[in-house]
Amino acid sequence: MFDVLELARMKRCIVIFLAAFAVVCAAAPRTALGGFWHPGNALDVIDTPMGVQPVKESRAQLDHRISAYEGTPPVSPKSAEDWFQLGMAYSAAGKPKESVNALRTAVKLDPANFEAWNRLGVSLADTGSLNESVDAFQHVVELHPEFPEGWGNLALDFIKEGRLPQAERYLKRAFALDPKSKQLWNTIIRLEVARGKLDAAMQAADSALKIDPQFSHALLNRGLILYSKHDVPSAIASVRHAIRSAPGFLHARVVLEMWLADADRLQEAAWVAMETLTRDPSERNSLEIMAAYDLQRHRSQEGIKEAMKARALGYDGIDSLNSLVNVLANFGRFEEAEKVVKETMAAHPKDENPVIFLGIVRLRQKRLRSSAKRAASPHTR
């Protein structure tokens, strides 16, 4: 039971939320989930770190290497090169923390291996450890000043830190060493976006695509810039091109799904989502797209199952909670909706969103019961 202060706080939160909710509803398209499809920050362009070359082994060989290292008993790499390849394998498997650990061992055994230092810097950046990433790239340029990847990756880290003048200086140094690098042009996209110069960012994307017309990262970034300029058809076309160039580019697929759903083209979004899920069954955005599509087609059980699976993959705030709670409430499954909210409250006690949603779920349930009583009353005619 809530005490008086908690009830007063909930009432205030609900009033504020409903007022904001009404404003958002007037401006944003809705899906069958009852939530909103956000394309994300249209200016959150995709980075392309330099020196991230394909590993020397096949994915099956990489998986075997990881399995052996993590097995019982574990098979530890012997040489610096073995640790380097293990670090690359972890990176390819989407495990940057494990990659960092392996690459730290590689550079400890062979401190002069500037390529291992470079790859360590990339993996550190992937974990959000920018200060350590900068240190690793500084090792690279000290060991091999003529290695453009070190200067380019230093520039990328400085852009992330907002140190744009330093980033520009390092980019010029990298371009002097490798004037035909498409990755460097992609970093310039990030720099110009950080400066708020979208036209210059578009020119950088075009320059990257002149070097390689199938460069998927530049195609996606071009689409993101076009979307921010409200040229949705051209943005969608550019992202489709990125996917054709790199069918396994999941980030581009998710962006396309959300944009299509946002444009009320849910069936097309579902087609993309189905293929995405064949590549990554745990892609939450794609599961939510499929849930919306199935609910729209009156396949409620499938839709709820997909929405609950998506919710189980993680909570990232109000959008994640809104989707599943609306699905359950819309089908009268208030007890399950309340259970989801309470579990979220327990896991995220400092987040007020679940408190607000708990009040809304109970309010909807109360209104539904009141409506049912009025409909059953002989005096409602």
pLDDT in tens, 230-289: 999 999 999 999 999 988 888 899 999 989 988 889 899 999 999 999 888 888 888 888
pLDDT of residue 70: 78
In a domain, 267, yes or no: no
In a domain, 105, yes or no: yes
What span, in angstroms and rounded, lies between the C-alpha atoms of 204 and 207?
5
Are 175 and 181 spatial neighbours (Cβ–Cβ below 8 Å)?
A: yes
CA 195 to chain centroid, in Å, comes to: 23
- The total domain count for the chain is 1
What CATH number does residue 100 fall under?
1.25.40.10
Average model confidence (pLDDT) across the chain: 80
**pTM exceeds 0.85 for this model:** no
In a domain, 109, yes or no: yes
In a domain, 119, yes or no: yes
- pLDDT-wise least confident of 96-100, 112-116, 327-331: 327-331
* Residue 108: pLDDT band with limits 50, 70, 90: very high
In a domain, 296, yes or no: no
In a domain, 346, yes or no: no
In a domain, 124, yes or no: yes
* Residue 280 host element (H or E): none
In a domain, 263, yes or no: no
Range of the domain at 92: 51-180
Residue 29's contacts (CB-CB under 8 Å, 6 or more residues apart) are 36, 37, 262, 263, 264
* Residue 44: pLDDT band with limits 50, 70, 90: low
